[in-house]
Amino acid sequence: MQRLANAIVSISLLAGCASPKPEAAALIASVERFHRASNGERPARADAVAQVECHDPDVCAAKARCVEATTATAGALRLKQEAETVLDEVEAAKRPPDDPALRALPAKLDEASRLLKTGHEAMPSCDEKILVLRERYGL
């Protein structure tokens, strides 16, 4: 029984000392996919950045900054797509010209602009943190 307990402690210690390199690599790859994506793909790519696991404080700090940037940008793109859908439906006579969704568009587009600005302002910090992880882990 004592040997089993020692083995469990040893495994736990080894797991706690695991290199953060794989999670740094996963975050870097996810952010790169976001950067390369078309605007239509970016919301899903932002979701993928948010889903990257992290335990290392430096990787988690980079992830937090990148999630801020990518989530805001994705939110702006989602709102823009919603606005385009409403306009397309009005044009195709699937919605009346006095539809409340049409009247809500200016506020929706203002929010999209605000989110896009937030995303653009946060992205340089994300990219800097990604660069540090690249250099630290040779990725």
What are the pLDDT tens digits along the chain (139 aa)? 445 434 443 444 444 456 899 999 999 999 999 999 999 999 999 999 999 999 999 999 999 999 999 999 999 999 999 999 998 888 888 888 888 988 999 999 999 999 999 999 999 999 999 999 999 999 9
Listing DSSP states for 76-121 in one string gives HHHHHHHHHHHHHHHHTTSS-TT-HHHHTHHHHHHHHHHHHHHHHH
What is the share, in percent, of the chain residues with pLDDT greater than 90?
Answer: 74
- 69 and 123 in contact (C-beta within 8 Å)? yes
pLDDT tens sequence across 51-60: 999 999 999 9
Looking at the whole model, is its pTM more than 0.85?
no
